[in-house]
Amino acid sequence: MHDSQWTQVRSTTSLIEADMLRDLLEREGISGLVQPSDASAYLGAMSPCRLLVKSVDAERAIAFLHDLEHSELDLESIDFEYDGEP
């Protein structure tokens, strides 16, 4: 498998959520891409999105996101750099 292939690891309800999760994955050394839905032209930052990672990192990303979901991490305490770009 080529490491230029991407795999969806999560669907999100907004661009903001997808960007936060991508930022957390990148802090773990996992490159991520956010792919907004076709509705992004109408919904902007509140558009549903797909979160993609390199296929070779998919298993690790899924495990990290699972652990994150079941942790008591306070997301408000993390400094995110939202630039409004997917």
Residue with tokens 């942790």: 71
How do residues 64-83 score in pLDDT, each as one tens digit? 999 988 876 655 555 655 55
The pLDDT tens digits of the residues spanning 12-36 come to 988 888 999 999 999 999 999 998 8
Rounded to two decimals, the pTM is 0.73
CATH code of 6-72, in short, is 3.30.70
CA nearest to 13, candidates 53, 63, 48 = 48
